């Protein structure tokens, strides 16, 4: 990592991007059975040094980029000593440059256990984090060796991270060994309880070289002959699960369908944005030299998604047109929620409107999920009379909503 050159950001058509990407670390100290990060990059997270990473940010700054930067690490907090060192040096840089960027990244849930790390991230301008929650079922977390998610109640961890100032994106998985009926319903309940706007629900896939792959191979449960593509979120599992595949698939489709029902989605966006930054966590500012660094702007003003101006204005106009004017079924909710955000948390406007816009993708995508699974199972799993629909494609029974044209 320490010999990695500065990426040629100058070659990018930067105005075609919503956010830029940099990488600080590789690898993860944990041992999740299904994860190939640890077999690809190891369990000793390696990092760039601070000077390297700041040089990358300075390059983006000099090229005129202002907006969001995705730190695309496997687990940004995998090496806690180095990440804190980096964040302590990033803070004065951000203050000196008047917070030109906001950041999002991926991290393990144990982020909630470290107040110093949380407050450093918030103070340096992080606005969102992707968490691998996978499931609220403790037995499945044990089976998959995701033990870091069992140490503290997951709902509390999410609330803490959210209230400290970070929007939560999260991944969930169905299909673990020994999984009990209703796992999909429990994921849905968890998502509603934590107001996670965009839960990424997937079916478990065994990836080559993982501990899961090796175990299933020994147990002769891999479906190797079928040459199922691996890693596609809408592909049925590539091994024999321990409960009926129809049951898992049905919970998957029902979960996606229900969680991305438009009014439910928009409501979660509202509640998540309203609860961001309600924490009592005192930001750790001991390391700031106040003689050389001016006071940073209030946290609440910098913790949001940033868009380049032209993109931002276009996005706002499109969302208002489609959700606030064209769609009769969501018009009322859209305006009520928009007024509530502007009244209670105007600093969250960008983030909120960005989430509303992303809804357009997910409302289409849930139809695709239902169709793809129906193709593989042979019938539409959500139809009240599944048997009669075995001969009908899903698209004939679903109304596809109009979408924003990009």
- Smallest distance, ligand SF4 to C-beta of residue 199, A: 16
What span, in angstroms and rounded, lies between the C-alpha atoms of 187 and 259? 10
Contact 171/133 with Cβ under 8 angstroms? yes
**Residue 172 pairs with which residues in a beta bridge?**
134, 201
Nearer to ligand SF4, 55 or 147 (CB): 147
- Smallest distance, ligand SF4 to C-beta of residue 34, A: 7
Nearer to ligand SF4, 53 or 108 (CB): 108
The sign one gets for the Cα dihedral 26, 31, 32, 34 is positive
Contact 20/65 with Cβ under 8 angstroms? yes
Nearer to ligand SF4, 211 or 355 (CB): 211
Going from the C-alpha of 313 to that of each of 201, 216, 270, 279, 317, the distances in angstroms are 31, 51, 20, 31, 6
What span, in angstroms and rounded, lies between the C-alpha atoms of 131 and 325? 34
What span, in angstroms and rounded, lies between the C-alpha atoms of 108 and 128? 13
- Smallest distance, ligand SF4 to C-beta of residue 263, A: 32
- Smallest distance, ligand SF4 to C-beta of residue 77, A: 10
The residue ranges that bind ligand SF4 (CB under 6 A) are: 28, 30, 32, 35, 37-38, 74-75, 108, 132
Contact 51/2 with Cβ under 8 angstroms? no
What span, in angstroms and rounded, lies between the C-alpha atoms of 45 and 23? 12
Closest alpha carbon to 322 in 396, 248, 207, 401? 401
- Smallest distance, ligand SF4 to C-beta of residue 175, A: 15
Nearer to ligand SF4, 35 or 112 (CB): 35
- Smallest distance, ligand SF4 to C-beta of residue 230, A: 16
Nearer to ligand SF4, 35 or 253 (CB): 35
């Amino acid at each position: 990592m320490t010999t990695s050159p500065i990426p040629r950001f100058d070659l990018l058509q930067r105005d075609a991007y919503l956010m830029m990407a940099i990488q600080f670390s590789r690898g993860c100290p944990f041992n999740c059975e299904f994860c190939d990060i640890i077999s690809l990059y190891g369990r000793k997270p390696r990092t760039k040094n601070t000077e390297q990473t700041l040089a990358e940010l300075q390059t983006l700054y000099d090229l005129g980029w202002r907006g969001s930067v995705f730190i695309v690490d496997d687990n940004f907090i995998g090496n806690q000593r180095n990440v804190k060192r980096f964040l302590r040096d990033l803070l004065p840089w951000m203050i000196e440059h008047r917070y030109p960027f906001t950041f999002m990244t991926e991290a393990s849930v144990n982020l909630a256990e470290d107040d110093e790390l949380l407050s450093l991230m918030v103070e340096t301008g992080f606005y969102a984090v992707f968490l691998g929650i996978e499931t609220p079922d403790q037995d499945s977390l044990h089976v998959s060796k995701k033990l870091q998610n069992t140490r503290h109640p997951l709902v509390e961890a999410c609330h803490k991270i959210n209230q400290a100032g970070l929007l939560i994106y999260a991944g969930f998985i169905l299909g673990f060994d020994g999984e009990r009926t209703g796992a999909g319903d429990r994921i849905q309940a968890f998502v509603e309880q934590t107001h996670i706007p965009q839960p990424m629900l997937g079916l478990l896939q065994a990836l080559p070289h993982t501990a899961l792959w090796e175990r299933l191979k020994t147990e002769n449960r891999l479906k190797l002959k079928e040459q199922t593509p691996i890693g596609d979120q809408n592909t049925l599992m590539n091994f024999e699960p321990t409960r009926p595949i129809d049951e898992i698939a049905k919970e998957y489709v029902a979960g996606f369908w229900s969680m991305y029902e438009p009014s439910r989605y928009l409501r979660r966006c509202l509640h998540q944005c309203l609860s961001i930054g309600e924490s009592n966590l005192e930001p750790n500012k001991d390391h700031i030299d106040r003689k050389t660094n001016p006071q940073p702007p209030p946290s609440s003003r910098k913790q949001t998604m940033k868009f380049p101006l032209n993109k931002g204005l276009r996005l706002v106009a499109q969302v208002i047109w489609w959700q606030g004017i064209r769609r009769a079924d969501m018009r009322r909710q859209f305006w009520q929620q928009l007024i509530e955000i502007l009244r209670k948390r105007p600093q969250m406007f960008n983030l909120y409107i960005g989430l509303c816009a992303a809804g357009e993708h997910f409302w289409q995508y849930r139809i695709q999920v239902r169709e793809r699974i129906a193709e593989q199972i042979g019938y539409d799993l959500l139809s009240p009379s599944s048997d009669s629909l075995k001969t009908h494609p899903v698209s004939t029974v679903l109304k596809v909503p109009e979408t924003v044209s990009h």
